[in-house]
Structure 1
């Protein structure tokens, strides 16, 4: 099995702001795994919050390259188990795992959702994210991209005013994501007002480690609360029970599709809502997320929609949120 690593700097259509930072570019690592004339592609985006860079992932993979190329590939889950013994970051494991699944499906000539015996007759549509910016810019971004479902990034001194103002311009459903910027009392207060403004749920309002505050919010919030930064790996799913109404699984954070599939099942057993989110990936990462759609309650897979120029073909998202799955097997990815 041959492995090739590619570094990309993805330019965003607009400056993307959240409570912690703003950026115009997204660095991303693409892993290419080839076997028997087929190539699978996986992705992991760099992330400053988790102290992950593309260069570090490339260096991390260096010592593994020979062993990986000599690995007798059978299934992605077996490969992931092998990778788990190598003390790799979850981000690098994710990129390799996604490439392995894309390769496996292409070798089987089946999309992953069929391999997993799921149907794409019904699935949630993705939200489109409006990052923090001056309110006039947020209005312009929303109006320039008509969409039935928006995620509004919050964490400012005038969060309610932002949502109230945006509501004047659309009847679309809102979700809000405070990225750990609120405290418990602020969240409970905001939830009552946000519910009146047509907000569906609040994502990660409190600091990830504030479990006492999260429990209070869970009990008293007028809106469902979805964990993001509080749910990183498989072991966090049970922790979220009784503190959140659902979890947002990020493939890069948990280590790929292999652990994500287990996290979905664990969450469903606990009656937690399941969501998968993106990290401003290209169509490589988004196409992998799309394979999970039949198993999810919510999805945030607008990453490639936020880019000025994509680097791959795969899953397409139409103007009404419908997903067009490619005819290739696996995640259906080809690089441009």
Structure 2
């Protein structure tokens, strides 16, 4: 097996702002694993909030190159465990390699991953389309630019309720909101009451990631369901979020790929928690990987490639009415 990688810079259609900061160009790290004439692709985006850069991911891949190119694994779980046991890879890099191996595995098997897993690709929730923090006028304009039945609205300002009130005047679409750790306990509970009246579906990550004591009260008193994001990064976090959140939002980059993500889904189901999967503004490489588990989810946020001015890859298409899978095996991803 041969490993190669492709650092890319992906300009966004609009500057994207959340409570953590803003970006107009998304850097990403696309990995390819090739064997027997087939290539599998994986991806992880750079992220300042988590201290992830393309040079760091490059260095980590080089540290395990000899292991990858000399090894032989039959299934993704074996490959993931072999990489994890080295202790040399952070989650984002591990994710890129895990996605690439899963894609390669499917291509070598001659089937899409979801079919290998016995899933029906026509089932599952539609993706939301995300509106980043901006002036109310610009947020309304962005919403009108992309008509969609379901929007995720990034919040974390002093005018959060007014923003939703103004957006609501312009669409009957369902809203879900994401505060990205910017609210306090009393603020969240009060906002839940106002947002429920504005047809908001749920609140994502209102408090700081480690404020589980505060979340216990929010969990008990919020009038809307609360979904963990920053509080649920890796497999062990699922149990920590139980009875503090109604559901979890899994990010492939943060947990280390599809292999651990599928275990997180299974554990959340055992705990009767709802399950969402989100993206980190990936190209169609990362988005196509998410698509493989959509039939297992309650909610999904996989609009990353739609936010790009130009997508460096082909793959699963995200539309207002559902997913369109390409006539490809594995995850369906390929580079342009």
The question of a shared fold, defined as TM-score above 0.5 by the shorter chain, is answered with yes
Who is 1:204 aligned against? 205
Who is 1:47 aligned against? 47
Shift of 1:317: 1.8
Partner Cα separation in structure 2 for residue 255 and residue 122 of structure 1: 25
Who is 2:2 aligned against? 2
Partner Cα separation in structure 2 for residue 323 and residue 139 of structure 1: 25
Partner Cα separation in structure 1 for residue 242 and residue 83 of structure 2: 29
Who is 2:247 aligned against? 246
Which region of structure 1 is more displaced relative to structure 2, 120-129 or 191-200? 120-129
Partner Cα separation in structure 2 for residue 287 and residue 61 of structure 1: 22
Partner Cα separation in structure 1 for residue 308 and residue 257 of structure 2: 22
1:167-220, Cα deviation, whole Å (9 max, x unpaired)? 000000000000000001000000000000010000000000001100100000
User: What SS class does the counterpart of residue 50 from structure 2 fall into?
Assistant: coil
TM-score norm. by structure 1 comes to: 0.99
1:22-41, Cα deviation, whole Å (9 max, x unpaired)? 11011100000000000000
Partner Cα separation in structure 1 for residue 259 and residue 23 of structure 2: 30
Partner Cα separation in structure 2 for residue 321 and residue 107 of structure 1: 30
Shift of 1:121: 3.3
Shift of 1:5: 1.0
Partner Cα separation in structure 2 for residue 157 and residue 199 of structure 1: 18
Who is 1:333 aligned against? 333
Who is 2:290 aligned against? 289
1:82-103, Cα deviation, whole Å (9 max, x unpaired)? 0111111010000000000000
TM-score norm. by structure 2 comes to: 0.99
User: What SS class does the counterpart of residue 143 from structure 1 fall into?
Assistant: helix
Partner Cα separation in structure 1 for residue 321 and residue 27 of structure 2: 26
Partner Cα separation in structure 2 for residue 121 and residue 30 of structure 1: 27
Residue correspondences, number: 335
Q: Conserved in 1, the CA contact under 8 Å of 2:40 and 2:102?
A: yes
Equivalent residues in 2 for 1:91-110, closer than 5 Å = 91-110=92-111
Who is 1:27 aligned against? 27
Which region of structure 1 is more displaced relative to structure 2, 322-331 or 210-219? 322-331
Partner Cα separation in structure 1 for residue 15 and residue 217 of structure 2: 34
Partner Cα separation in structure 2 for residue 278 and residue 315 of structure 1: 14
Partner Cα separation in structure 2 for residue 135 and residue 199 of structure 1: 17
Shift of 1:20: 1.6
Shift of 1:51: 0.6
1:207-251, Cα deviation, whole Å (9 max, x unpaired)? 000011001000000000000000000000001000000000000
Residue 162 of structure 2 corresponds to residue 164 of structure 1: no
Shift of 1:321: 2.9
Q: Conserved in 1, the CA contact under 8 Å of 2:125 and 2:322?
A: no
Equivalent residues in 2 for 1:98-247, closer than 5 Å = 98-247=99-248
Partner Cα separation in structure 2 for residue 78 and residue 115 of structure 1: 17
Shift of 1:49: 1.1
